[in-house]
Amino acid sequence: MRYVCLMCTVLFWHTASADKVTITTAPWQPYVSHEHAGSAVALLEQVFSQNNTEITWLRQNYDLAFQQISRKEKLASFPYFKTAERAKKVLYSAPIFQVTSHIYFNRQYSQQIEQAELSKYRIGKVAGYSYGENIDKLVEKAKIFNSEDAALQALLEGDIDYLPMTESVMNYILNNQFKQQKLLIKPLEDIRDTKSLHLIAADNKQGRALVKTLNELLEQVVDLKSFVLSPEQLTIEPDIAKLITSEGYPAILAQTDLTENAAFYTLAQGTKVLVIEWSDVLLKPSKSDRIYKNMMDVSKVVILNGPLVGKEVYVRNMHIELI
């Protein structure tokens, strides 16, 4: 995030009408989109809708926004992490929403490590961004990238070992731009930082009035669950497969269970299934290169088409072809 702000900066200007403000912002998915939408944008609009304040969204550079707020050249900006350093220069509203940041690694090249070991590895971060004070201390000497996309690309290509990023932002980018590689990216389990985001305002009469009004509006919705932003989730693609015949086995047999009393179905070649439980021999390494037993073992599937759609059965691994 730009310095201690999110990738979205919002400025409030006075207008002739008390129920209308102009806000500048910049894209930071999923919180702010290129079309001036996004979850953080919508949340702030709803908060101010309580006193019929209408927001017009414009863009402004993040660094410039904070500079102008601290110089009292602009009224307010949104949203920012609250830090002791910045609180000396601007006013902060009450918390508006929270985000969690992690340090991520590419399990193709790196592994789970302890926090104390981080300094031994190549760490990246996005220029001017903050991930919360705790994580910022760990990445002070990180390699700098101009954008999240460039930093994540470096992680995927093995040019860096670890990368801090806000969870929802990472999940959004993986879901939308790196679908084929998203299962490679994992967060370190013992390093995270959850912080609240705030509106900041100029430390003057107008700024104090704006923060007071916003805090009162926030207090009125504090118990409404619809005003809590849900984090972007990483979507995991299901293991969809089609069933194929195998040499020496021209028919595809499916069994109802793993007992001696199991019944068998004959399935058409090309039947689509969802694999819901892979057999142990495919999940664990073997000390033998004799794969006949592995192919003859069974995995549990749900049939997705044909006359037996919806039925859960077991089929031999040799008949499963992922698509």
Domains and CATH numbers, the chain: 20-98+195-227 (3.40.190.10), 100-192 (3.40.190.10), 240-322 (2.30.30)
Instruction: Provide the whole-model pTM.
Output: 0.78
Residue 279 DSSP class: -
> pLDDT by residue (tens digit) across 79-97?
888 888 889 999 999 999 9
Helices (H), the chain: 39-48, 62-70, 84-87, 133-138, 148-156, 167-177, 205-220, 280-283, 292-296
312-316 and 252-255 strand pairing: antiparallel
pLDDT of residue 3: 46
Q: What is the pLDDT of residue 200?
A: 86
Q: Is 54 helix (H, G, I), strand (E, B) or coil?
A: strand
- For 27-45, write each residue's pLDDT tens digit: 889 998 888 789 998 999 9
Rg (CA), the chain: 26
Mean pLDDT across the stretch 113-124?
Answer: 92
Residue 49, C-beta contacts closer than 8 angstroms, at least 6 positions apart: none
Mean pLDDT of 150-159: 96
31, amino acid identity: Y
Contacts of 259 (CB under 8 A, 6+ apart): none
**Please, what is the average pLDDT of the chain?**
88
